Copies of this chain bind each other. A is one copy, B any other.
Amino acid sequence: MTSTDASPPPPNPPLRPTRQRRAVVEAMASFADFRSAQEIHELLGQRGEAVGLATVYRTLQRLAEAGEVDVLRTEDGEAIYRRCSDTHHHHLVCRACGATVEVEGPAVERWTRSIAGEHGYADVSHTLEIFGTCAACR
């Protein structure tokens, strides 16, 4: 090619390390259960690291896209977040206190893929969450 070699490299705008961004990440590291954006926003306020609510929402979205945090939906549709390991896993959540355990299951991964394949579905992905009452809450 001569001059029309304009390559279309994904112009992902570079993220910048701001006080707010740092504060949210640190806050996410301070608890192990799933929390709503509003709760996290409040927690930041208490910590003296006030961050605008809109920014909390934006940052949480970024982190979720980046796979830094996992997102779940409460029964009434509210999004709740939790910092998580970067490998694929699922959650075992206590209905009473929210205590969460990350769990893995190769068999399940295999099963979903095969059942989808049998029905002619491709590009398979899935969501799986387990709920129960933990020992401490009984």
- Residues of A at the B interface (CB closer than 8 Å) are 73, 77-79, 92, 94-95, 101, 103, 105, 107-108, 111-112, 115-116, 119-135, 138
- Chain B residues with Cβ below 8 Å from A115 are 92, 103, 105, 130
Q: Are A94 and B121 in contact (CB under 8 A)?
A: yes
Contact B108 A111 (CB under 8 A): yes
- For A119, what are the chain B residues with a Cβ–Cβ distance below 8 Å? 92, 101, 103, 134
Considering residues A95, A101, A121, which has the most beta carbons from chain B within 10 angstroms of its beta carbon? A121
Query: How distant is the Cα of A116 from the Cα of B105 in the complex, in angstroms?
Result: 12
Query: Considering the chains assembled together, what is the distance between the CA atoms of A132 and B126 in angstroms?
Result: 9
**A73 CB, min distance to chain B CBs, angstroms:** 5
A115-B103, A127-B129 known; A121-B108 Cβ under 8 A: no
Contacts of A126 in B (CB 8 A): 128-131
Known: A78-B77, A128-B127, A129-B127. A134 touches B120 (CB 8 A): yes
**Residues of B contacting A132 with CB < 8 Å?**
116, 121-125
Min CB distance A135 to B, Å, is: 4
